[in-house]
Structure 1
Amino acid sequence: MNVSTFSKPARVYTPLNALQSHAEQLQAKSLADLLGGECQVAKRRAEALRFDLGSLHLDFSKQRVSEQTLSLLMDWARSCRLEERREALFAGRHVNVFENRPALHMAARWPEGEPAPQGMEEAVAFCQAQRQKLAGMVERLHARQWFGATGQSITDVVHIGVGGSDLGPKLVSETLGQCPSQQHVGVHYVSSMDGAQLLPLIERLNPETTLLVLASKSFTTADTQFNVKTALTWLSEALEIDVPTLCGHQLIGVSTRADKMTEFGIPEAHQLEFKEWIGGRFSIWSPIGVSVAMQLGMETFDQLLEGAHAIDQHFLAAPLHENVPVLMAVIGAWNSQFLNIATHAVLPYDARMASVPAYLQQLEMESNGKSVGLDQKLVPHATCPIIWGDVGPNAQHAFYQLLHQGSHTVSADFIAVASREHGIEGPLADTLNAQEHLTLANCLAQSQLFALGDDAIPAVSRGQMAQGYRGNQPNSVILMQRLDAWNIGALLALYEHKVFVQSVLWNVNPFDQPGVELGKKLATSLYQQLEGEPVDTPTVFDPSTGALLEKIQAWRQ
């Protein structure tokens, strides 16, 4: 009797299998090993992982990647036809397959006089025409030729939106509008559906000189509709002028639905339009940014678009292994999918960028927070991590303790500004410079401690201070030479293209948000119950929600 010995079949090579095996091997190597102190190999590795894009500098050397890791990640990207999918994006093909439309937010920042990619020409022409109309509105406002219903010049703008119609403009306004001397008009943002942001403005703004901007892609979002109706009611009661007259003087509409803006009573001259192929979270470059242009001027708004367009050109032309958005994306996917890091912290070391984490939460999680692929099958692995964060110096006194000595592994982006032009001289300038140096020192120190843990403690100090710093927390450092419109535009565009690349790797559609819609429908029926109205659609009963409704109704009576 012959006994045959059967060997285990060899594992079929695929980029994903190779990355999984490589991840298992790399687990035994720490970031301290990869950074390697003063050795030449570590220096060459660090140099190869640093990139300059204009006045942006990106350092990926504290990521848990080796030369082999990056090679395997590029094989994965190519196997997903990334270059072909990138060309399709810029050619205006219907990459948003579930909604059967292209995704051409890049067209909104395409400069005049520069040929657009084939397939994007019509979109670019439309966006440039709307930008000219926007510029005319801004010029009229800054010339004090925009008059309210009583004949007074407008001094303040209330931007009413939610989600992408709020987060992008608000971020740029907060980042670049810190100095009142740089503002042409006051701009105020209202997004919360409970009216809490609107009420303080009603108390302190002059209704005669306040212009409302209603920014809503669909022109049906309940949060925005309720806020604008409340704002118009305030103006009407305060000025004793009917709402239709006010809509003709003190309301701008920004939407994809010109018909609905007209139906609402907004004259065509006060309408700005963008198309369905610009998603809300990608819309800051479109007329959704009108309030930024009104506050800071067209020159600043144009610089914002120029920075973003520079990244578009880099993303289109640079080879994958030198392409910064591609590197951001594949490293992020490596951390999430292969190193099993479920959360990613965004830590700006400049209080002017306080809204960056919230902006990126929507951009990344609403785009790639999905478990159903383009093939309508469940994705069998992790996709987008949970994005969160805060201004770094504040975060150090809040949650860094857990990050350094807790049990959770976190990846992070540290974002810092190298210099700040504050136009001040003398002793005050010296103290401000010292504060900037302290902020930068903390950013670099925390990034180092995230990566090295106890190995960041000098040998002479060990035994004299607490240890237990876990280290091995992969992080990138993004440095801006200065915080200006070009750099903010470039930064946001980097993250946009990162999101697209990761969607290709994970085979999900980053341009729809079906998970948002069901909650809105449920809210509509519950709202009707609270109002005592007949319910249009049947609702699923559960005893918890039923009891909460009863409690609310009892208290409100």
Structure 2
Amino acid sequence: MNSSSLQLSQRVYTPLNALQAHAERLQAQSLSDLIGSDTPSARRRSSSLAFTFNTLHLDLSKQRVTQETLSLLTDWAHSCGLEEKRKALFAGAKMNTSEKREAMHMAARWPTAATPPNGMEDAAAFCQQQRLRLAEIVERVHQREWFGATGQSITDVVHIGVGGSDLGPKLISEALADRPSHTVVNVHFVSSMDGTQLLPLMESLDPATTLLVLASKSFTTADTQFNVQTALVWLSESLEVDVPTICCYQLLGVSSRPDKMTEFGIPDAHQLVFKDWIGGRFSLWSPIGVSVAMQLGMAKFNSLLEGAHMMDRHFLETPLTENLPVLVALVGAWNCQFLNISSHAILPYDARLKSLPAYLQQLEMESNGKSVCLDGRSVTHATCPIIWGDVGSNAQHAFYQLMHQGGHTVSADFVAVAGREVAATQAVRESLASQEQLTLANCLAQAQLFALGDDAIPNALRGSMAQSHRGNQPNSLLLLNQLNAWSMGALLALYEHKVFVQSVLWNLNPFDQPGVELGKKLATRLYQALAGEASEQDIVHDIEHDIVHDIVNDPSTLQLLKKVSEWRK
């Protein structure tokens, strides 16, 4: 018996103890050892770590895991009550404990023809009713029957949101509305609070045919409020129509606060509502996605929802050992907590997925980037890793050098698309097919080199290639048959459920974000200072006493305020 096994035998068995001892043993094996050469055992291992769900294929064979690892991880999930908590999630239990709310984003994509789980019935019915309203609005725009304040039909939509109200719709727009032939209406996204995204739109769009979509769960977020005020002033001055009239004709509101939308001057007919039990970063499937539906059409939007719903069913009904979101979550927790890999790269090998890393940054780090358990105790280990990344073909010429030969260990998700249908001449299709093959070859080669390092270099190239590629960087490959609405829905729902599973393993609440709020509060008084509404003495007083009681006078920030004030004058 080795020392790790002896130590384990001398203490009470728990899944965590077993995983820790297993990790210590596995650290002595490299991925080259696990993957091995082309032998029957290596082929069996690779086959056992490959999983397919409809048009999505997951390969875990380049992860530092064995079947024993997966068995121990599954035992851990069982011991955390994952199956019971999964059922409670879909049944409408108040999983968001700090805000005493359900987390029912799955209801937003539940189809009318399917019976929802017990406890979800009312939520699904409400979402389906709002989806009908959304479809009516989309049809009205597509039929050129939505008229602006001067009587002209809407041709362009400016979607104003931030965070989950922006990242999800923007990702889908880039992925699926990649060519003019794929779009019905032009949609433009504005999220930055500095106005730089809005300025070029005000110079290029026709104000008479532009519809503003204000997407904000709370309807109080400063970023969106300032952007929409500027946009309304632009429309009002350009069309010589007062702002209240513009609000009646050229503003669509999407929020969980219909009272705030009415107070703002948006007519009931131009309001879409979702409940506060849909979190912002889980809200793509709700009316927050209305701009995407306008751009792509309801058929594609419904296909997006269908793909996500089918992943919901897979997650809810499939045993843990074959459940893709569960497997991705377990392996991710293994890398972060037991192999101490604190950095995770998202590397899509398709430029249409360029916003996927940013989308997953919010989804994962805002959900599980926490250090306090549900019971108030401090977490004693790393939880969510740092999520980052870029389109793989660009990343190869940027940071892959560090990942291959630097001193940092990272894990990675490679995301690739097997094929693409293009309506073009035979010669153009053949040329594009060659580009696709080159892209896939680069994706597979980089995943291989991440895992094996120098051992990936063929004998024929040894001596002519630089060595010291460190390897041993665990990675998964998610392969989509095609990048379409259904597969995008399934992919994003997979990551949503991954977040939930990991929150169960780490005993966290993934549906709140208290760490986001403090900076917003501190910014309010500083904004007043920059706008000339408060004196320097007021700022000092607020930092010392009013905003947050334990923040003392900060001369660093004060001298920056002075410099900004000096230069702005």
TM-score range, shorter chain: over 0.9
Following TM superposition, the consecutive aligned residue runs of length 4 or more in structure 1 with deviations greater than 4 angstroms are 534-537
Q: Which residue of 1 aligns with 2:390?
A: 390
Q: 1:45: how far off?
A: 1.2
% identical aligned pairs: 70
Query: The residue matched to 1:147 in structure 2 has which SS?
Result: coil
Q: 1:426: how far off?
A: 2.4
Q: Which residue of 1 aligns with 2:567?
A: 555
Take 1:8 and 1:489, find their aligned partners in 2: how far apart are those partners? 43
Take 1:426 and 1:8, find their aligned partners in 2: how far apart are those partners? 64
Take 1:175 and 1:463, find their aligned partners in 2: how far apart are those partners? 42
Query: The residue matched to 1:445 in structure 2 has which SS?
Result: helix
TM-score by length of 1: 0.98
Q: Which residue of 2 aligns with 1:313?
A: 313
Contact 2:413 2:477 in 1 (8 A): yes
Take 1:21 and 1:525, find their aligned partners in 2: how far apart are those partners? 51
Take 1:224 and 1:72, find their aligned partners in 2: how far apart are those partners? 46
Take 2:112 and 2:460, find their aligned partners in 1: how far apart are those partners? 60
Q: 1:152: how far off?
A: 0.3
Take 1:325 and 1:101, find their aligned partners in 2: how far apart are those partners? 23
Q: Which residue of 1 aligns with 2:346?
A: 346
Listed as ranges, the matches of 1:297-446 within 5 Å are 297-446=297-446
Q: 1:9: how far off?
A: 8.8
Query: The residue matched to 1:471 in structure 2 has which SS?
Result: coil
Q: 1:8: how far off?
A: 11
Take 1:551 and 1:404, find their aligned partners in 2: how far apart are those partners? 42
Q: 1:422: how far off?
A: 1.1
Q: 1:23: how far off?
A: 0.5
Take 2:554 and 2:151, find their aligned partners in 1: how far apart are those partners? 55
Take 1:236 and 1:9, find their aligned partners in 2: how far apart are those partners? 75
Take 1:360 and 1:429, find their aligned partners in 2: how far apart are those partners? 32
User: CA deviation digits over 1:298-332, x for unaligned, max 9?
Assistant: 00000000000000000001001111100000000
Q: 1:431: how far off?
A: 1.2
Tell me which amino acid in the other structure corresponds to 1:227.
Answer: N
Take 1:425 and 1:439, find their aligned partners in 2: how far apart are those partners? 21
Q: 1:38: how far off?
A: 1.4
Quick one: structure 1 residues 11 and 266, their matched pair in 2 at CA, closer, same or farther if it must change by over 3 Å? same
* Gaps in structure 1 of 5+ consecutive residues: 1-6
**Greater Cα offset, 543-552 or 458-467:** 458-467
Listed as ranges, the matches of 1:479-494 within 5 Å are 479-494=479-494
Take 2:280 and 2:106, find their aligned partners in 1: how far apart are those partners? 13
Task: Say whether residues 1:76 and 2:76 are aligned partners.
Answer: yes
Take 2:129 and 2:501, find their aligned partners in 1: how far apart are those partners? 30
Q: Which residue of 2 aligns with 1:4?
A: none
Query: The residue matched to 1:538 in structure 2 has which SS?
Result: helix
Query: The residue matched to 1:414 in structure 2 has which SS?
Result: strand
Q: Which residue of 2 aligns with 1:26?
A: 26
User: CA deviation digits over 1:327-381, x for unaligned, max 9?
Assistant: 0000000000000001000000000000000000000000000001101111000
Q: Which residue of 1 aligns with 2:556?
A: 544
Q: Which residue of 2 aligns with 1:133?
A: 133
Take 1:34 and 1:94, find their aligned partners in 2: how far apart are those partners? 42
User: CA deviation digits over 1:26-56, x for unaligned, max 9?
Assistant: 0111111111121111111111111111111
Listed as ranges, the matches of 1:232-311 within 5 Å are 232-311=232-311
User: CA deviation digits over 1:234-280, x for unaligned, max 9?
Assistant: 00000000000010100000000000000000000000000000000
* Gaps in structure 2 of 5+ consecutive residues: 1-6, 545-552
Take 1:454 and 1:36, find their aligned partners in 2: how far apart are those partners? 13
Take 2:55 and 2:75, find their aligned partners in 1: how far apart are those partners? 30
Take 2:130 and 2:223, find their aligned partners in 1: how far apart are those partners? 26
Q: Which residue of 1 aligns with 2:549?
A: none
Take 2:463 and 2:16, find their aligned partners in 1: how far apart are those partners? 43
Q: 1:59: how far off?
A: 0.5
Listed as ranges, the matches of 1:483-522 within 5 Å are 483-522=483-522
Q: Which residue of 2 aligns with 1:451?
A: 451
Q: 1:425: how far off?
A: 2.1
TM-score by length of 2: 0.96
Query: The residue matched to 1:388 in structure 2 has which SS?
Result: strand
Count of residues in Structure 1 that have an aligned counterpart in Structure 2: 551
Query: The residue matched to 1:158 in structure 2 has which SS?
Result: strand
User: CA deviation digits over 1:528-549, x for unaligned, max 9?
Assistant: 1112224698214211001000
Q: 1:432: how far off?
A: 1.0
Q: Which residue of 2 aligns with 1:3?
A: none
Tell me which amino acid in the other structure corresponds to 1:552.
Answer: V
Query: The residue matched to 1:253 in structure 2 has which SS?
Result: strand
Take 1:316 and 1:145, find their aligned partners in 2: how far apart are those partners? 41
Take 2:356 and 2:468, find their aligned partners in 1: how far apart are those partners? 31
Pairwise CA RMSD: 1.2
Q: Which residue of 2 aligns with 1:89?
A: 89
Tell me which amino acid in the other structure corresponds to 2:562.
Answer: E
Tell me which amino acid in the other structure corresponds to 2:162.
Answer: V
Contact 2:543 2:554 in 1 (8 A): no
Take 2:265 and 2:555, find their aligned partners in 1: how far apart are those partners? 43
Query: The residue matched to 1:539 in structure 2 has which SS?
Result: helix
Listed as ranges, the matches of 1:164-179 within 5 Å are 164-179=164-179
Take 1:55 and 1:323, find their aligned partners in 2: how far apart are those partners? 15
Take 1:9 and 1:159, find their aligned partners in 2: how far apart are those partners? 59
Query: The residue matched to 2:542 in structure 1 has which SS?
Result: coil
Take 1:179 and 1:548, find their aligned partners in 2: how far apart are those partners? 45
Take 2:543 and 2:90, find their aligned partners in 1: how far apart are those partners? 42
Take 1:54 and 1:539, find their aligned partners in 2: how far apart are those partners? 55
